[in-house]
Each structure stands twice: as structure tokens, then as C-alpha cells.
Structure 1
Amino acid sequence: MIKVSVLYPNTAGSRFDMDYYLNKHIPMVRGKVGPALKGVAVDQGLGSVPPGTPPIYLATAHLLFESMEAFGAAFGPHAPAIMGDVPNYTNTQPVIQIGEVKISG
């Protein structure tokens, strides 16, 4: 299982429309990648360490796929539409990391 993490940095002047992200962007992604998407979680940044410090990331999405090949086959054809939607909910450049899940739950 792989996890595609999309992190949205909290930089000066950055904005993030969580309502749009949850109600329009994520459903659009689900519809485009279909059953290859095994799970999704979205986190809203609350803070960092030490307590009271602003979050490093405004939001983070975690998308689960069976393999790199499954991710590539599902995401690749729709990448322009998915990435083209980014300006509709944020003005920050997302950082994407792909990792292999070693333990969960």
C-alpha cells in the first residue's frame, strides 16, 4: 500500500478554502481516480511545536493506493484537471510525497 501525501504550506499570505476542498476538490478526485483510491484522509493544520506556534501546513491530504503503478494509472490521465483545480482553493504550492505504508491502525 502506498500513501500519497499532499501538503499545503502555511506561508505568509497563504489561503486555503477547506469547504471547497472537502466538498468539491476531494469528490472530484475520487470521481476521476475511481476504485483505485482505497482511502482518503484530510487534516487541517492547528499548530506546531512548541504549543501556540502556527501550523507548518494549512492542510494535508493522504490518499491510499495499492501500488505506485495503480496510482500512476489512475492519476496520470487526470493530472491536468486535478492540478488545474488547485487555484480554486489555495494560493500555495502543494508539496507531494509518496511513501510506502509500513504500519497502520
Structure 2
Amino acid sequence: MKFKLVLSFLLLTTCFVAFGQEQQSGNSKNQNASVSEKGLIKISIMYPFAEGKTFNMEYYETKHMPMVAGFLGSNLVKYTIEKGLSNGIPDQPLQYMAIGTFYVKSLSDYKAAVAPHRDAIRADFVNYTNTIPLIFVSEVVK
């Protein structure tokens, strides 16, 4: 019974959040942001949480991500860094410690820009984490 109550609360909260986002998307600033991102390629680098795994956010923010962004040149539209706070399900462990995301115009240009620097990028991992990231490549549709 307690589980059903928690699940109902989560679903209700999700509905309110989604409704609030729909209401906010009516303003021109949000519409322009989604229009300008449509069609972009999004590369998400996700760092899974696990017991004993560490992540140095300061290094990632000030050294690693700017280094990789520099390799991408004019193909890079923007990049974001997210710090994991909690799992969406109460009393469950955090899924990701951090997620770094690059928004680029072309996947082939991204691959060409990163390829000669792949070893340097991977060698830098030890400076901020002891986990192996998962990479998800997608296209922004809205």
C-alpha cells in the first residue's frame, strides 16, 4: 500500500511538472530556444553512480569540458554540465553523478573533431573520475 501511495505521488508530481512546463513554453523565449535547438545533435556523456565511484565537478567544469569544447570549434552550439542530486524514486540510489552534454550541428564533424584527440580526452578521465562514462547520441526533435 505504501508503495502504491508513493508511486501515485510521483505520477501526480510528474503531471504537475509537465503541465507547468507546457504553460511556460507559451512565452517567446522558450519557443525560440526549442526552435533553435531542433535538429541539433546532442552528445550526452553520463557518469554512473556506484559505491566507491568519485567525480570532481570543479575539474570537470573548469578543465575537461572546456578542453573538449575547444576541439569542437564552430560545430559546437553550446554545452551543459549537470550535477546529479537524487533519483526520481525515493530511497533509491542516484543513477548518475554528472552528465555533460554537447549540442553540435553535425555528427560527422563532431566525430572528425574528436577523433585525433580521443586518447587525450580519455587520459584526462583520471583527473576527475574513476567511473566509465556512458555516451548517448541523439537528435533534438523539439
Pairwise same-fold verdict (TM > 0.5): yes
Q: Which moved more, 1:11-20 or 1:77-86?
A: 77-86
Q: Which has the higher strand share?
A: 1
Given candidates 23, 27, 45, the residue that maps to 2:66 is: 27
Count of paired positions: 103
1:24-63 mapped onto 2 (5 Å cutoff): 24-63=63-102
Per-residue CA deviations over 1:21-56 (Å, capped at 9, x if unaligned) read 001111111222222211101100000122353320
How far is 1:75 from its partner?
1.2
SS in 2 for 1:60: strand
Quote the Cα distance in structure 2 between the aligned partners of 1:67 and 1:36: 7
**Two-structure CA RMSD over aligned residues (Å):** 1.2
Rg bigger for which structure?
2
Match of 2:117? 78
Q: TM-score, normalised on structure 2?
A: 0.68
| Contact 2:75–2:106 (8 Å) recurs in 1 | no
The ranges of structure 1 where at least 4 consecutive aligned residues each deviate by more than 4 angstroms after the TM superposition are: none
> Corresponding residue for 1:18?
57
Stretches of structure 1 that go unaligned for 5 or more consecutive residues are: none
Higher relative contact order (CA 8 A, sep 6+): 1
Structure (1/2) with the larger helix percentage: 2
The match for 1:7 is 46
CA distance in 1, matches of 2:79, 2:91: 28
What amino acid is aligned across from residue 96 of structure 2 in structure 1? Y
TM-score by length of 1: 0.91
Identity %: 40
Gapped regions of structure 2 (runs ≥ 5): 1-39
